[in-house]
Chains A and B, each alone.
Chain A
């Protein structure tokens, strides 16, 4: 009786395996994690699939912690993590694919040249209400914040050790372009957006100015070099050294072939 059950199971398992094979001859690479990286990896995955028709790239977001957990437990081939790995995550190998930096922006006509950390915190929590308190005109400050759930907001909050509830904003915006248009149209506004987008627009004559932070200029190059304080690295993590199809995909994601995709998502490529 028992061997019969075992045989039935074996047959079923065999059938299952066969069905699995015939359904998809394709190699499947599963990526999970950071919702900041997910849109980028979806685009990169699409391009990779076009070049390798036998591979399917499956991207699911769910936060950096999920990326770490899934890569560790083998739920995903590759985890997406939008921060440096912590000491207790040394069992994982993180490979950077791009960097992400945020700049504070003001209107070009605003005389304020820089804001200290304390001033930024004061302005965003509503304790500093007038530009005159930080060396500007005698006018009300218009604080521009990001909508809940955006990764730019998350990075901004964690850098200044703020909670979103503490922020007293006059304008809440969605994407970077909306933030730039809001500041460009209001000489009293201050906001923060991805450096890639801000630098591009400022270079094309949009009346905004990127403020330096802690003495470091907000530029592409400084983000690239890891010098700019309000920036982070975007990692693909694997359990141990990456191997097989996952490794090929990671190498592709680091290559010059996807540089345009990285820039499209307003991230900063690793190499100059």
Chain B
């Protein structure tokens, strides 16, 4: 209850800071202006919206399958002792602060990419770091969903003579679909909002990337980079970016709730 009030108050505050500028230049300006030069009155946020969507989607494309397969391996293939170790390691991965991932990305990953496909700080670097960061969320929630599959169903499959992989594919995964879907959407929410690590490895050039090696700037990185020194309209435009980001995250959470509920009942 209290946390709901706080969230609403924060969103209200962000909107209140953003509203005067939106009212003056119109909402379309944030998608159709000639560029992002906030101190010269050009407020196009769309390259950064693309940056956010592309890094998050790319990370999910990598972390989704890997995370689900890791969970399946832990539940159905690995010896129980090894599965426990694996689960602990994934939990540890979830607890590492994002700035540490960013630092690792900046000092190890980015120089590596720079050698293969310059300049180095890029969409690719962002995707890889983000994938690593959301992997635990996907894995742990998929693991929990698989653990919740009723034992009778699995025993039924075994009684029918189904092999291990057929059981996983035909029984366990369909039964755990809702939980896995929720996990994926929550992970996507984290990817969309992640700031520090992305800011350190993405290069932060405001542009729609043409290749994986191009630098990008995400909405969250934009706010973090410029807020400390922004004034007037520039500051208000950053609040617009914040509102957009909040709306995106809210959409994902709502979607996660819908996915979770539909399958729970159906």
Using a CB–CB cutoff of 8 Å, the interface residues on chain A facing chain B are 35, 61-63, 139-140, 142, 147-151, 164-165, 169-174, 178, 181-182, 185-186, 188-189
Q: Is A186 within 8 A of B35, CB to CB?
A: no
Q: Is A170 within 8 A of B106, CB to CB?
A: no
With a cutoff of 8 Å between Cβ atoms, the chain B residues found around residue A172 in the complex are 203-206, 215, 217, 225
Contact (A185, B119) CB under 8 Å given A147-B204, A149-B226, A165-B40: no
With a cutoff of 8 Å between Cβ atoms, the chain B residues found around residue A171 in the complex are 119-121, 203-205, 215
Closest to B199 in A: A174
Contact (A185, B111) CB under 8 Å given A149-B230, A165-B35: yes
CB distance from A73 to the nearest CB of B (A): 20
CB distance from B219 to the nearest CB of A (A): 14
Q: Is B110 within 8 A of A185, CB to CB?
A: yes
Q: Is B121 within 8 A of A170, CB to CB?
A: yes
Q: Is B119 within 8 A of A140, CB to CB?
A: yes
Sample of 7 A–B contacts (CB below 8 Å):
A142-B118, A142-B119, A149-B234, A172-B215, A178-B200, A185-B110, A186-B120
B224 interface hit (Cβ, 8 Å) = yes
Q: Is B114 within 8 A of A186, CB to CB?
A: yes
Picked from B37, B110, B231, the residue with its CB within 8 Å of the CB of A165 is B37
Contact (A170, B37) CB under 8 Å given A35-B229, A147-B225, A151-B229: no
Q: Is A148 within 8 A of B39, CB to CB?
A: yes
Task: Tally inter-chain residue pairs, CB-CB below 8 A.
Answer: 82
Closest to B40 in A: A165
**A174 CA / B106 CA spacing, docked (Å):** 14
B32 interface hit (Cβ, 8 Å) = no
**A178 CA / B228 CA spacing, docked (Å):** 15
Closest to A167 in B: B205
Closest 5 CB pairs of A and B: A149-B229, A172-B204, A147-B225, A170-B119, A142-B119
**A223 CA / B39 CA spacing, docked (Å):** 29
CB distance from B129 to the nearest CB of A (A): 14
CB distance from A204 to the nearest CB of B (A): 16
Given contacts A171-B120, A186-B114, 5 further A-B contacts (CB under 8 A): A140-B119, A142-B119, A147-B229, A148-B234, A172-B217
Picked from A139, A147, A170, A182, the residue with its CB within 8 Å of the CB of B226 is A147
CB distance from A89 to the nearest CB of B (A): 22
**A138 CA / B111 CA spacing, docked (Å):** 18
With a cutoff of 8 Å between Cβ atoms, the chain B residues found around residue A178 in the complex are 106, 200
